[in-house]
Chain A
Amino acid sequence: MVNERDDKKRLDEEENNTYKFNEENENNAHTPPEQRDAYSLDNKDSSESKTLDMSVKADLPHGAAGHGALDMKNLPRSKPGWKIIFEELVSDKLALFSLIILVIITSYVFGLTMFLNQAAIVKVDLFAINQPPNDDFRLGTDYGGRDIFGQLIIGTRNSLAIGFLVTAISVGFGIVYGVVSGYFGGQIDNGMMRIVDFFMVLPFLMIIVVFVTIVPSYDIWTFSLIMAAFLWTGTARLIRSVAMQEKELDYINASRTLGSSNIKIIFTQLMPNLVGLIIVNGTLSLAANIGIESGLSFIGFGFPENTPSLGTLMAYAIQTQTLQNRWWIWAPAAILILILMLCVRNIGEAFRRAGDARQRNA
């Protein structure tokens, strides 16, 4: 009888041991050690053992301030925001590659335009029309004998500058407008959205065509402003809808009970949660705005031929002769547009992940 009981006890113990052993093995296999302290309570970082730790420290002969100072040295350092973004970019090889290409293209284009003489490049030279790429003209010439390479460089600069400017103005304004409208809601939201509706029913293309016709000399700045005046509405509506959802969450209520002002809540609590959306929206807008500018120039209502852009180069392809036989005029511009858009998109993706701690690779 006694033996039987002992046997049973031993068996139980054995079973327990194997169970424990398995559990431990499984834990080690499935959860990486650095994550365990955050989720499990039963290791050395758990609250209970830590409080014990502290009581020991509290006995030491220094005051509260000294105790804080002692702890501060052992704390993990907080990572600055730029470092998080940088690490995310480095960890994503595609984004890093895209960034390098974009930086090279941008700096090359902006650097070289300082030394290029735009007037000389856009001067008609009848002795050198429609030449394929050669030693004098690296990318050949168009029907007016103008150097395609020079036009491509200056055109890229103009297109990029317009894209960045229009995006900065329209997205920047749209975000603030949308967040304010969505956060306050009610009558304020109602009024602000009717203004958006008004801007949306205006015929965008028609007004730009009229503007281009009646304003005798326009430059990058005025052209960007007139484009941005119509392009902020989409961003504003998108951001407003998300802000309305987000403000119902308890962390906004919590911030209110903690005494933060509305402005503070909008810019320090709500905005960081919209960063992903803002970056995706900004990136897409940047690509789209370069496209819109090129499109307007393509149909002849962007910049005139003496102010080259990627769109004016593409516009040469309207002639079937050029499209079929003179690829050097339009192909480089088309490829450049493609590369720029892809680079901008890849970088935007990495930025978005950097803004959301749960999606980070680094």
Chain B
Amino acid sequence: MKNLLEVKDLKVYYPIKGGFFNTVKDHVKAVDGVSLNIPEGTSYGLVGESGSGKTTTGKAVIGLNHITEGEIYFDGKAISGSGKSVENSQEIQMIFQDPYSSLNVRKRVFDIVSEPIRNYHKRTKNELIAEVLDLLQKVGLPPGSLYKYPHEFSGGQRQRIGVARAIALNPKLIIADEPVSALDVSVQAQVLNFMQDIQQELNLTMLFIAHDLGVVRHMCQHIGIMYQGRLVEEGTAEEIFNNPQHLYTKRLIAAIPDTNVDKIDENLHIRQSVKEEYDQHFHEYLDEDGRALPLINITATHKAALPAKG
């Protein structure tokens, strides 16, 4: 299968300025050498704690962030990465984390969803309305919401508006930046299932950014685990969940809540033993600067940042 998106050794640094002349003293390494490939039509889950550079990676891919070093190829074309302008916006779209701030409160649903269409195509008012109605139907919103304002909707419905806007131009790649983390748990599954349906229907490729491993397991074929701006483990969903190699991954997986009441003690025990191991041995997984080690191949698809044996 062809790779739709290839990220090669991506680095995004932010300068820390200080001193009398406001000179650059140091850099915050938000993303520090991330490489990943996403085959067409699949979902790639990027997981990590807050501040691990997941969102920055996603924003660099769509062109909202500058790139300090490294290359991003979308469909074979390089993305310049100045951070000034968004390229490929017909083919790459983004679903934002916060459904409250990502919709302009002064705009009606019609204006919001039709914005990308108006930017790229010439349409009459009636054609636009028909197209927007079609999109609303796809995301499961009633046609009556056409002239409503965002504040008249619940969080889940607002996120659906965001999705409708993102799929309006029939993009190839969608970057979903924690699309459900701002939503109520009862609505999360609803939005996720519906995103899966849309993905199958439109044959979308998805970069799915999340900090919830359960959500990623549900959505993605490939998973990358990020820690402090670097990938520490990468592989297919089964490999990550059945055979985690990196200590950080193990701890993340141990932290997934289990609804089985009988296993409470067992799970607690596992969690505590993983925590102990983490506390004692995690420094072995970092180099002297505190960065994660380079990735080593375990199988053809499975890579992890493990210390050299012995």
Chain A interface (Cβ within 8 Å of chain B)? Answer: 37-39, 41, 45-48, 50-51, 54, 64-65, 68-69, 71-72, 74-79, 249-251, 253-260, 264, 269, 272-273, 275, 355-358
Contact = CB atoms under 8 A, between A and B. Distances in A.
Interface in B44-64: 59, 62-64
B116 A259 contact: yes
A257 B101 contact: no
A257 to B, nearest CB: 5
Given A258-B89, A357-B105, A250 B96 contact: yes
Interface centre among A38, A51, A78 (most CB of B within 10 A): A38
A347 B93 CA distance: 42
> How extensive is the interface on chain B, given as a class?
35 or more
Contacts, number: 125
A250 B112 CA distance: 13
A250 B142 contact: no
B93 A257 contact: yes
Nearest to A58: B137
Interface string B85-96: 010011011101
A194 to B, nearest CB: 16
Contacts of A275: 106
A259 B151 CA distance: 24
Interface string B76-104: 00000000001001101110111001111
Given A68-B134, A249-B101, A254-B96, A75 B115 contact: no
Contacts of A358: 105, 151
5 contacts: A50-B137, A68-B130, A257-B94, A258-B115, A273-B105
B130 A273 contact: no
Interface of A is mostly: helix
Interface string B1-41: 00000000000000000000000000000000000000000
The 8 closest A-B pairs by CB, nearest first: A68-B130, A47-B140, A250-B102, A272-B106, A259-B89, A258-B116, A259-B119, A38-B152
Nearest to B160: A47
Contacts of A48: 140
Nearest to B90: A259
B143 interface: yes
B126 interface: yes
Interface centre among B64, B103, B130, B151 (most CB of A within 10 A): B130
B141 interface: yes
Contacts of A250: 96-98, 101-102
B148 A78 contact: no
Contact of A75 (B107, B146, B162): B146
